[in-house]
Every structure is written in structure tokens, then in C-alpha cells.
């Protein structure tokens, strides 16, 4: 499966959108593409009618190049979405957009602008054309992406399908998916801690960012049981990540042995240290945390 890294800076997508229940996604998304064909493609390209304002905007901005997916589920991650949400019993909705890159000009009634992640994107090239799209889609998320931990899709960000060509029945039809990547690849992201733990996924940080006292109580209870202590009270569950500015969890700020070791050596993380695999301090702190170990591997320079 071919891939490339592309950069999209300050891009907005213009398109037609529809709210679709997760449980009906597999049937409603193709129906929505059918509406796009009937409303834009058929009258303009097959019947050669003079475009109206809606159709002209679609032509000018290449609407149909992308299919976007977004939802308002807190801390949602599209990389795990299909298994978690696309079930027969899930009536929550997601927004599906058929769109193109906005080039300026009129935004007609029935269309909207959608800002997308500004920065680097992973662009996957599927093989076998549209007939193999769903198979390749599942293979990408279930097999390829887990095998490449250096590519991480941030939470609460739109992902996109991309299409290029006219003959969708051809095995050479070009299509695939694009996912936004963390702002800086290879673990130099400030959300990856010195020890390799992803602060963005930390429950303490999520509770802090959302200012969620109920979640603070849950994290406090869980961590007290995990670490056999009663010192981790809800008021201590405040952290914006161990790097950068902002409040820090008291352990990370005052008791962590890894941070001073890494910073004194001028490293970004333990992954840059040649002694990583034999370090007793690191082993004590992260134990068998495979996610943290994979994050550290992406920064190795030797």
C-alpha cells in the first residue's frame, strides 16, 4: 500500500453535508453520493445544462474530490472509529461532507465551509480502484496503521477520502484516504512525554482540558487503586502535559526521574539515548507500556 506525506496549510473544504447515524453509514453515504451525482454531475456533464449557482460552485472548487467525516463525540479518533461506532445499535450521528478545496468566491445556499487540520497529512493510495475501496479501507485501519506507530491521527480531527478520475469501474481509478498527523512527526511532538507516554491520551490531561470534575474523581479513584495510595486526590488531577507551559501533575513535575535525566543530556526523549534498552529508570517508570516504547522507537538516531 503506497503512501506519501503531504502538507495542507490553511485549507478549507467547501461542500454539501449530511448528518448520518453511525448505524446507517454504509448505506447512507453511497446514497448521498447518489444525490451528488443527480444534483451536479448528471445535469452538467451528461445533459450539458447551463450550471446554476450551486453547480458552478461545485465545478469551480472541484467538489467531489474529497469525502470528509467528522463528529462531535469528545476525544473522538477516526483511526478507531469504525470498530467503536459503526455498529447496528449506535444511533449517534457523524457529519459526512462531499467537497473540494475552497478557492474563494460565492458559497451558495446548501454548501458550507469546513476548516481542516493545517499541517502534515498521511495520504494513502489504495489499489484496485473503487471496487476494492472498502477492503483497502479496512486493511489500512486494522493492519497497516497499527504496524506504523510513527503515524498518529490526533483526536477530534477530520479525516478524508480522496478520489481522482472519471472511470470508477476501472481498477486503475485513483482513490484512498488521508489522515491528519500530529503537528511534528517522529515523537518531537510536545504531546509525547520524555518517557514516550502520549500526554494527549492521558486521562488527567483530558480532565484538565475539559475541566471535568467527574472525570477527575474517576481518575483519582483509578490511580489510587493502581498505585496503592490515597494521596492522589481529585484536586491533584490537573495537567496539560509534561512538556511546554501549563499546569503539571505533581508526580510528573516533582517526582519523575526521567525528565531531569533526559533534559540534562539535551535529548527530546529517552528514545534518543543509546542506553534506552538497558535503562533501569525507564523500565521502572513505563514497565510494559508498549505504546510508550513504540513512541520512543520513532525518535532513535542510531
**Pair (21, 138) in one structural domain:** yes
pTM of the full structure: 0.59
In a domain, 291, yes or no: yes
Please list the pLDDT of the chain residue by residue as tens digits (302 residues): 788 889 998 899 999 999 998 888 888 999 999 999 999 999 999 999 999 999 999 999 999 999 998 776 555 556 556 555 555 556 788 889 999 999 999 999 999 999 888 888 999 999 998 889 989 988 888 888 877 766 777 666 778 999 998 888 898 899 999 998 865 444 345 678 889 888 888 899 888 888 899 999 999 999 999 889 999 999 999 998 888 667 888 888 888 899 999 988 888 888 888 788 889 999 888 877 888 888 887 665 44
Residues 123 and 211 in one domain: no
Asked if residue 302 belongs to a domain, the reply is no
- Statement to judge: residues 208 and 135 lie in one domain: no
Does 167 share its domain with 249?
no
- The per-residue b/e assignment along 267-299, b for 16 or more CB within 10 angstroms, e otherwise, is bbbbbbbeebeeeeebeebbeeeeebbbbbebb
Last residue of a domain, one of 146, 180, 214: 180
CATH code for the domain of 22 = 3.20.80.10
**Domain final position from 180, 212, 230:** 180
Give a yes or no: residue 116 inside a domain.
yes
Q: Do residues 129 and 168 touch, judged by C-beta distance below 8 A? A: yes
- If asked whether residues 222 and 284 sit together in one domain, one would say yes
Residue 132 in domain:
yes
For residue 104, being part of any structural domain is answered with yes
Distance, in Å, from the CA atom of 235 to the CA atom of 71, rounded to the nearest integer, reads: 31
**114, 234: one domain:** no
User: Does residue 188 fall inside a structural domain?
Assistant: no
Q: How far apart are CA 70 and CA 239, in angstroms?
A: 27
**Does residue 245 sit in the same domain as residue 172?**
no
Give the distance, in angstroms, between the CA of residue 284 and the centroid of all CA atoms in the same chain: 31
What phi, psi does 296 have (nearest 5°)?
-70, -35
Same domain, 225 and 155: no
The answer on 231 and 169 residing in a single domain is no
Per the CB < 8 A criterion, the answer to whether 201 and 194 are in contact is no
- Please tell me whether residues 136 and 244 are part of one structural domain: no
> Does any domain span residue 168?
yes
In this structure, are 26 and 96 located in the same domain? yes
- Determine, yes or no, domain membership for 193: no
Q: Which domain holds residue 35?
A: 2-180
Q: Are residues 169 and 222 in the same domain?
A: no
Total of domains in the chain? 2
Amino acid at each position: 500500500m503506497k503512501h506519501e506525506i503531504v502538507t495542507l496549510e490553511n485549507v478549507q473544504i467547501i461542500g454539501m453535508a449530511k448528518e448520518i447515524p453511525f448505524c446507517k453509514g454504509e448505506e447512507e453515504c453511497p446514497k448521498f453520493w447518489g444525490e451528488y451525482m443527480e444534483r451536479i454531475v448528471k445535469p452538467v456533464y451528461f445533459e450539458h445544462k447551463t450550471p446554476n449557482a450551486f453547480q458552478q460552485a461545485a465545478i469551480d472548487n472541484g467538489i467531489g474530490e474529497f469525502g470528509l467525516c467528522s463528529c462531535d463525540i469528545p476525544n473522538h479518533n477516526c483511526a478507531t472509529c469504525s470498530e467503536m461506532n459503526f455498529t447496528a445499535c449506535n444511533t449517534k450521528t457523524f457529519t459526512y461532507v462531499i467537497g473540494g478545496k475552497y478557492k474563494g468566491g460565492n458559497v451558495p445556499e446548501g454548501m458550507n465551509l469546513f476548516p481542516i487540520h493545517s499541517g502534515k497529512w498521511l495520504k494513502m493510495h489504495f489499489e484496485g480502484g473503487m471496487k476494492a475501496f472498502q477492503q483497502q479501507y479496512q486493511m489500512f485501519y486494522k493492519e497497516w496503521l497499527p504496524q506504523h506507530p510513527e503515524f498518529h491521527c490526533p483526536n477530534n480531527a477530520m479525516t478524508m477520502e480522496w478520489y481522482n478520475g472519471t472511470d470508477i469501474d476501472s481498477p486503475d481509478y485513483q482513490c484512498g484516504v488521508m489522515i491528519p498527523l500530529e503537528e511534528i512527526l517522529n515523537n518531537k511532538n510536545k504531546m509525547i512525554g520524555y518517557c514516550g507516554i502520549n500526554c494527549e491520551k492521558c486521562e488527567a490531561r483530558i480532565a484538565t482540558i475539559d475541566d471535568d470534575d467527574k472525570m477527575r474523581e474517576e481518575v483519582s479513584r483509578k490511580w489510587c487503586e493502581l498505585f496503592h495510595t490515597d494521596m492522589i486526590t481529585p484536586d491533584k488531577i490537573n495537567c496539560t502535559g509534561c512538556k511546554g507551559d501549563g499546569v503539571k501533575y505533581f508526580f510528573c513535575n516533582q517526582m519523575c526521574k526521567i525528565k531531569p535525566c533526559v533534559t540534562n543530556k539535551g535529548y527530546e526523549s529517552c528514545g534518543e539515548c543509546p542506553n534506552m534498552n538497558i535503562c533501569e529508570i525507564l523500565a521502572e517508570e513505563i514497565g510494559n507500556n508498549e505504546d510508550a516504547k513504540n513512541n520512543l522507537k520513532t525518535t532513535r538516531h542510531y
